[in-house]
Chain A
C-alpha cells in the first residue's frame, strides 16, 4: 500500500496538474495524491498525539494501554472501566481460542487461513478446507479487530479525559450521567450505533468479501468445501481483454447494451413523463386527480405483478398478438420478448414496456415542479408580450431542464442497475448460443445469473466492480453538476 502511494506521489506533482481542468485523468490522480497526503498527515498527527497522551497521562492511563478500563476503574468509574475490561477479555478469548463455526476457525487462525485460503485437500475421511468460509471469516476477523481498535482507542481517550477532569478539579461523570449523556450531547452515538452495526454486517463486510472474490478462482469448478480455491491476482480482469471465455466474448456487448438501454430508458421516461405532466396539468383538463391516479396505479402495483402480466400479455398466443393478427396489422404472431427471433425486437419491446413502467414516476415528479414554477417569470413574459408558445419554449422548458438535471443523472444510474424489468420480462433472452449472457441481459442481470444460477462467483464479482465504476463515475458527475448549481444560481 505504502509503496503504491509513494509511486503515485513521484509520478505526478499535484500543483502541475490542477490548472489543467480538462484532463480528467490527471485530476483524478491529483485527487488521489492529495487524499493520500492528507491521510499521511492525519496518521502523523495521530501518532504524535497518542505519544503525548501516553506521556502526559496518569499511571492509570498508562496502564490502560495494557489493561483496558484500568484508568476508569482507578478514577472510580467502575462500571465503565469494567465494560472496557470485558471487551478486552472477550476479544482475546475470541482471538486465541479461534472458535469453530461450520468447522472453520475464526480468530487468529482465520488470519492465517485468509492468506492461504486453505491447504487441506481432504479425502473420504477428512473434509476439504472450505476456502470460501476461510475468506469470509478472514474478513470478519479483520472487521472485529478494527472494531476492537476503536474500543481500545476510546478506552484510552476516556481514561485520559478523566485524568484531565481530575487535574482541573472537576467532578467525574458517574455511569448514570454517562448514560444520560447518550440522550443529549452524544445522542448521535446512540442513534447511529444500530444503523452502523447493520450496515457493517450486511453491507460493508459482504461488499469487501465480494470484491476480494474477484481476485480468486472461486467458480463453478471450485465449489466451496469440495475443491480448494486460491488467490489469482488480476487474472479475472485480464480475462475480459483476451481469450474465449464467457467474460471475454460477452463483456463488451453486454456493457454496450447496458449503456444503450440506460440512455433510451432514461430519456424516453424523462420526455414522456414531462409531456404527460404537461397534459394533465393543462388548465382546461378536468378530473386531474382521476387521470393522475390511473397512471399512479403502475407505481402502486408490485413490479413482479405488472411485469409478469406484461410478459404473458405479449406472449405468442396471448391476447395482444391475437388482436393484432385479427385486425390485419400483422400476419403472424410476433415473439416479442425472451423468445424473439431478432434481439432488436426484444430490446425495443423492453424499452417500450419501460416507458409504461417509468413514465408515471417522472410525471409525478415533474408535476410538482410544474406547479412550483415561479409566477413572476410568467408575468414578466406576458408583460413583454410573449405568446403561449414562446412562454413554453423560453420559460417552462428551460426551467424544468434546469431543475431536473440531477434527477436525470440519478435515473440514468438507476437504469444501469435496473434488474426487475429485464429479469422478469425476458430473463436476458433471446439467448446467445453457448453463453450465459443473453442479448437483453444488463450487467446486473448477467451478474445475478453468473453468481446465483451458475456459481461463477469470480467473474460475477469482476462485473460487479465494473458496474460500480460506471455508477460511481456517473455519480461524481452529478456531484459536480449540483455543486455548479449552488454556485451559479443562474436561472433565477
Chain B
C-alpha cells in the first residue's frame, strides 16, 4: 500500500541505480551459486567418471581435472559387485525405517505432554531435559557401548535402532513450539464434550499437526543416513556386513585398509545415497522451513 504513493517519485529518480543494483544482485547470486554447486557437481561428475589407464585399469583416485574425460556406469557396477554397498544400503534403510517410527512417536508424545498437559513434575522435566541436552552426546557413548555390551547387543543393528530412538525423547523442543500455538480453547471445548486426553491428542491435535509430524519424521528418517559417529562406535570397523552407508563409505576411504583408488566408487555411493535423501528433503522443504523458523523465533 505504501508503495503506491512512493512509486512515481522514486522510480523516476532511482531507475538507473535500481537497474544496476538488480544486475549486480543477479551477478552475485550466480557467483555464489557456482561456489555452492562446485563441490556437489564435482562429486556427481566423479560418480560417472570412467577413465582407464594404460593397463586398462579404472582410475579411481582424485584427479586434477574437474570435468571427466569419459563417462559411464562402471563405478556403479563395481560398487554393487565389488563392495558390500547393497548390504550397507539395506542396513541403513532398515535402521532408518524402524527408528523413524519409534522416535517420531516418542518426540511427538513428549512434546504434546510438555506443551498441553499440566502436571506436577512438568517444569522439572523441562529443566532436566535442557541440562541433559548440554552434555556432548558422545561423552556417554562409551557407557552406552558397554551397557549394550552387557545386554549382549553390541554390533547389532538393533542396538543402533535403540540408540537412535531412545534419545528422541529429548528432542521435543521444535514440536513443543508447534503445539504451544494450538489454542487451548480448542482443547477445552473438546474436553467439555467429554473427550479424554488421549482422544483429544489422537483425534484433534494430530490431524492438525501435519507440518510438525512431517518435519519430525523427516529428520528422524534422515538421521541414520547421516550419522556416523554413533554407528562407527557401536558397529566397529571390522564388521563390514553391519555397516550403514555413512560408516561403510567412510571406512572405504579412510579405514585401516583404505585404498586411494576408490574415490570414484565413493562418489558413486554418495550419489546413490544422496538422490533419495535430497529429493525427500526438497519435496518436504516447506515443512522443514516451517519447523526451523518455528524453532528460531521461539529461541
Contacts and interface: CB of A to CB of B under 8 A. Distances in A.
Given A198-B168, A301-B40, A461-B139, A187 B134 contact: no
Contact of A300 (B113, B196, B281, B292): B281
B261 interface: no
Contacts of B2: 375, 378-379, 382-383
Interface string A340-377: 00000000000000001000110011011100000100
Interface in A364-408: 364-365, 367-369, 375, 378-379, 382-383, 403-404, 406-407
Contacts, number: 262
Interface in B262-299: 263, 266-267, 270, 273-274, 277-278, 281-282, 285, 289, 292-293, 296-297, 299
Interface stretch (B70-78, B159-167, B208-216): B159-167
Interface in B101-158: 106, 109-110, 112-113, 117, 119, 122, 125, 130-132, 134-136, 138-144, 146-147, 149-150
Contact of B299 (A305, A313, A478): A478
A109 to B, nearest CB: 15
A475 B139 contact: no
B6 to A, nearest CB: 6
A368 B289 contact: yes
Contact of B166 (A190, A203, A410): A203
Contacts of B43: 305, 309
B299 A406 contact: yes
A312 to B, nearest CB: 5
Contacts of B122: 188
A301 B278 contact: yes
B170 A203 contact: yes
A279 interface: yes
A184 B196 contact: yes
B217 interface: no
A306 interface: yes
Given A203-B132, A382-B2, A291 B29 contact: yes
The interface residues of chain A, by DSSP majority, are classed as helix
A417 interface: yes
Given A184-B196, A297-B278, A369-B297, 15 more contacts: A136-B147, A187-B196, A188-B122, A191-B109, A191-B113, A195-B168, A203-B170, A205-B143, A279-B28, A294-B36, A302-B274, A309-B43, A404-B296, A444-B136, A485-B299
Interface of B: 1-2, 5-6, 18, 21-22, 25-26, 28-29, 32-33, 35-40, 42-43, 62-66, 106, 109-110, 112-113, 117, 119, 122, 125, 130-132, 134-136, 138-144, 146-147, 149-150, 162-163, 165-170, 196-199, 201, 222, 225-226, 228-229, 232-233, 246, 249-250, 253, 263, 266-267, 270, 273-274, 277-278, 281-282, 285, 289, 292-293, 296-297, 299
